[in-house]
């Protein structure tokens, strides 16, 4: 485990483990419409931007796709407040049936599933190839969050055209059932996992 990975796990442990979620928000692109597009099915939510948790200690933590390790992995940051920004729609989901059941319980465990890409990359200098080198890129693709005996998965995954999916995406998908997780092979396709308790 690298120092950077250890720091990432330590931050997750400090911010999430043992906390109760009291409010849930999604941030979506504002399509100048009253319609909301995050509900792919009743058990799968597809979010353009971020998932925000407000915890029982009033911390606001934004789960997002970012480039902390490499584009696009699951990252997070603490917010001072919910910011209502131009061209972004902030939607409160606390009363959604999927979230309502979960927020009664503390987060007991998070498992991070990593995807690893290995191959030969061409190094460019002034837009011209200079050499080929072996490269390994690793990202935290999916979080499995356990609320006691219940589990959800948040993944940098975009579902397109109803069935096809794109991993390493500038998008988050929240899956509330193991059946959904298995359909999109989140655990099966991961190359490494680490559990944070």
CA–CA separation, 166 vs 157, rounded Å?
A: 6
The band of 29, judged by pLDDT with boundaries at 50, 70 and 90, is confident
Question: Count of alpha carbons within 13 Å of 180, Cβ hemisphere only?
Answer: 20
- On whether the pTM is more than 0.95, the answer is no
What local confidence, expressed as pLDDT, does residue 72 receive?
83
CA–CA separation, 65 vs 177, rounded Å?
A: 21
pLDDT digits (tens, 9 = 90+) for 166-175: 666 778 999 9
Query: Between 194 and 4, whose confidence is greater?
Result: 4
∠ CA 140-97-143 to the nearest 5 degrees? Answer: 10
CA–CA separation, 82 vs 61, rounded Å?
A: 10
pLDDT at 13 over 90: yes
């Amino acid at each position: 485990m690298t120092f950077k990975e250890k720091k990432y796990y330590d931050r997750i442990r400090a911010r999430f483990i043992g906390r109760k979620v009291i409010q849930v928000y999604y941030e979506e692109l504002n399509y100048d419409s009253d319609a909301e597009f995050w509900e792919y099915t009743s058990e799968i939510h597809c979010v353009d931007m971020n998932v925000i948790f407000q915890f029982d200690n009033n911390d606001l933590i934004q789960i997002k796709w970012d480039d902390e390790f490499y584009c696009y992995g699951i990252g997070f940051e603490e917010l001072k407040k919910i910011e209502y920004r131009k061209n972004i729609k902030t939607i409160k989901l606390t009363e959604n049936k999927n979230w309502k059941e979960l927020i009664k319980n503390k987060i007991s465990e998070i498992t991070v599933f990593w995807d690893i890409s290995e191959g030969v990359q061409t190094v460019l200098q002034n837009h011209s190839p200079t050499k080929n080198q072996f490269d390994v890129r690793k990202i935290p693709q999916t979080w499995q969050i356990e609320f006691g005996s219940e589990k959800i998965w948040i993944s940098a995954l975009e579902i397109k055209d109803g069935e096809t999916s794109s991993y390493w995406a500038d998008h988050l998908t929240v899956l509330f059932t193991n059946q959904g997780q298995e359909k999109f092979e989140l655990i099966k396709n991961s190359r490494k996992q680490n559990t944070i308790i």
